[in-house]
Structure 1
Amino acid sequence: MRKILGVASLIMSTCVVHAEQLNEQEQISPYSANVTFASQYISRGFQQTWGKPALQIGLDYANPNGLFIGTWASNVSSNYLRDASVEWDFYAGYIKTFDKFSAGMTVFYYYYPGAESTPETGSTSYNYGEIVPQIGYGPFTLKYFITYTPDYAGYNSNTMGGLTGKRSRGSSYLDLNFTQPINESWTFGAHYGYERIKNFSESNFQDVKAELIKDLGDGWSTGLAYTKAWDKNSYYKKYSNGETGAPISNPIDSTFTVSVKKVF
């Protein structure tokens, strides 16, 4: 069976600036930018650069009243998504903090320029969008990503087989995060996620992450993250982008990622 998957992550990996983090930072200007160099790009447990290094850039505007808008981009591998080289994300939303509580909503759109599934499967685009309500208390944040576009990351009857006419609108991703400072310079983070793909439950998956982040001062930080994903029936164990002769690998196997980030 041809396995097609595209996922981003705008905000699920160490590489994306979370809206609530922007809201909590004391900034002279509402505008900020970030650049990350990482040993690989992991999103929702999937190795989107096929184990190769990643360069990621983001731009954000965060109003003190809680409104924010931003964009973020990373290189990706064509071995992961056919003809893909870049993931480009756009997002906007609102978040409000009340003492230890927070609540908000974000809308995302993930764009993969030029990337499509094989012509034999109808040249399905990998582009997709999600709406994300979220709540937080203290070190915990819970987000629920819901796909509003016709397909989630190219999942449909053409790419997945089965009954004709099936789409994956309404797919969801449960994202639970724990972030706790250890001291003035070190922070520990933990994550659990569960992806439910509508009409294609055989491709559902779960993922976990544990990370340590060190603040180096002057906007610099470095991180070490362990990630792993798994599915019920080893669906992704022999993954390819669907192209004839494409490399086969296990993109959800456990792995470590090292990153260095600068926030301007």
Structure 2
Amino acid sequence: MRKILGAASLIMSTCVVHAEQLKEQQQTSPYSANVTFASQYISRGFQQTWGKPALQGGLDYANPNGFFVGTWASSVSSNYLRDASVEWDFYTGYLKTIDKFSIGMSVFYYYYPGAKSTPETGSSSYNYGEIIPQIGYGPLSLKYFVTYTPDYAGYNSKTMGGSAGKRSRGSSYLDLNFTQPINDTWTFGAHYGYERIKNFSESNFQDVKAELIKDLGDGWTTGLAYTKAWDKNSYYKKYSNGEPGAPISNPIDSTFTVSVKKVF
């Protein structure tokens, strides 16, 4: 079951990035778009493009009253998720900022077209959704992701084994971020996260991230990020997508990612 779980457990959203982009964009129009080319797609410490480059993009609407809605997509590897090529996210929410204090709530749904576990594990879907309350003060922000769908990323008794009928609704992810401008063009960011998977605690994990972002002007930015994830029992160090003979990888190793982004 570890092979199946390895793939399922690593499906993570980039919710933090989306929400912060909406907060930071200072434009005359409430509509915006973004395109990113990255050396790989990393989310919550896991390498989702099998170490290969990723193409990403999104569309957003952010009302001055704090309401926002949008969609975002990234390429993923079929070695990482069986029969997957794209992660497609949909989200909406509200973010209110008063001086240095912010508070908000958002709802996300993560869609992986065509991606399912093997027939032997019930052909389980990896699609899932989360509700995310958040607060912030100055450079610090805290978010708490809670799974509202029956399963979190395909975690259930068919893919995990154990007692029949177990689901993973109510799984949670604690997300603590620090973002601090260094000067007019450079920004430093740091992150710590902890994922708790309901009914399947052996697959809980933690992750960290440190990054530098350079504002190049005219909507262009470039970034360099260091990421790493780990778990108590080294559960994710060897996994495949579950297919017989599928490649095995360690997606939680420490790694660096370079990216270039354009906001329109």
Once the two structures are TM-superposed, the CA of residue 13 in structure 1 deviates from its matched residue by: 7.8
Structure-2 separation of matches of 1:26 and 1:225: 24
Change (3 A) 1:236 1:149: same
Structure-1 separation of matches of 2:8 and 2:122: 22
Change (3 A) 1:79 1:33: same
- Greater displacement, 188-197 / 8-17: 8-17
- Greater displacement, 13-22 / 176-185: 13-22
The question of whether the paired residues in 2 share the 8 Å contact of 1:15 and 1:56 is answered with no
Change (3 A) 1:215 1:49: same
Change (3 A) 1:15 1:217: farther
Unaligned runs of 5+ in 2: none
Once the two structures are TM-superposed, the CA of residue 26 in structure 1 deviates from its matched residue by: 1.9
Instruction: Give the structure with the higher percent helix.
Output: 2
Secondary structure at the counterpart of residue 87 of structure 2: strand
- Greater displacement, 19-28 / 252-261: 19-28
- Greater displacement, 227-236 / 21-30: 21-30
Counterpart position of 1:84: 84
Once the two structures are TM-superposed, the CA of residue 12 in structure 1 deviates from its matched residue by: 7.9
Q: What percentage of residue pairs aligned between the two structures are identical?
A: 90
Q: Deviations over 1:85-143 (max 9, x none)?
A: 00000000000001110000000000000000000111100000000000000000100
The question of whether the paired residues in 1 share the 8 Å contact of 2:75 and 2:87 is answered with yes
The question of whether the paired residues in 2 share the 8 Å contact of 1:186 and 1:212 is answered with yes
Q: How does 1:99-110 map to 2 (within 5 A)?
A: 99-110=99-110
Once the two structures are TM-superposed, the CA of residue 23 in structure 1 deviates from its matched residue by: 3.0
Once the two structures are TM-superposed, the CA of residue 235 in structure 1 deviates from its matched residue by: 0.2
Change (3 A) 1:6 1:245: closer
Structure-2 separation of matches of 1:216 and 1:4: 41
Secondary structure at the counterpart of residue 103 of structure 1: strand
Once the two structures are TM-superposed, the CA of residue 21 in structure 1 deviates from its matched residue by: 3.7
Secondary structure at the counterpart of residue 22 of structure 2: helix
Structure-1 separation of matches of 2:127 and 2:89: 10
Q: How does 1:1-264 map to 2 (within 5 A)?
A: 1-5=1-5, 17-264=17-264
The question of whether the paired residues in 1 share the 8 Å contact of 2:45 and 2:252 is answered with yes
Structure-2 separation of matches of 1:188 and 1:8: 31
Once the two structures are TM-superposed, the CA of residue 5 in structure 1 deviates from its matched residue by: 4.8
Structure-2 separation of matches of 1:14 and 1:171: 17
Secondary structure at the counterpart of residue 4 of structure 1: helix
Change (3 A) 1:263 1:12: farther
Once the two structures are TM-superposed, the CA of residue 174 in structure 1 deviates from its matched residue by: 0.3
Once the two structures are TM-superposed, the CA of residue 255 in structure 1 deviates from its matched residue by: 0.3
Normalising to structure 1: TM-score of the pair?
0.95
Once the two structures are TM-superposed, the CA of residue 20 in structure 1 deviates from its matched residue by: 4.1
Structure-1 separation of matches of 2:245 and 2:8: 25
Q: Deviations over 1:194-222 (max 9, x none)?
A: 00000000000000000000000000000
Structure-1 separation of matches of 2:48 and 2:166: 26
Once the two structures are TM-superposed, the CA of residue 22 in structure 1 deviates from its matched residue by: 1.9
Once the two structures are TM-superposed, the CA of residue 14 in structure 1 deviates from its matched residue by: 7.6
Change (3 A) 1:35 1:214: same
Once the two structures are TM-superposed, the CA of residue 10 in structure 1 deviates from its matched residue by: 13
Change (3 A) 1:137 1:15: closer
Q: Deviations over 1:11-38 (max 9, x none)?
A: 9888974324423432110000000000
Q: Deviations over 1:56-107 (max 9, x none)?
A: 0100000000000000000000111100000000000000001110000000
Secondary structure at the counterpart of residue 114 of structure 2: coil
Change (3 A) 1:10 1:230: closer
Change (3 A) 1:206 1:90: same
The question of whether the paired residues in 2 share the 8 Å contact of 1:6 and 1:126 is answered with no
Q: Deviations over 1:129-159 (max 9, x none)?
A: 0000000000001000000000000011100
The question of whether the paired residues in 2 share the 8 Å contact of 1:181 and 1:188 is answered with yes
Structure-2 separation of matches of 1:64 and 1:124: 40
Change (3 A) 1:167 1:201: same
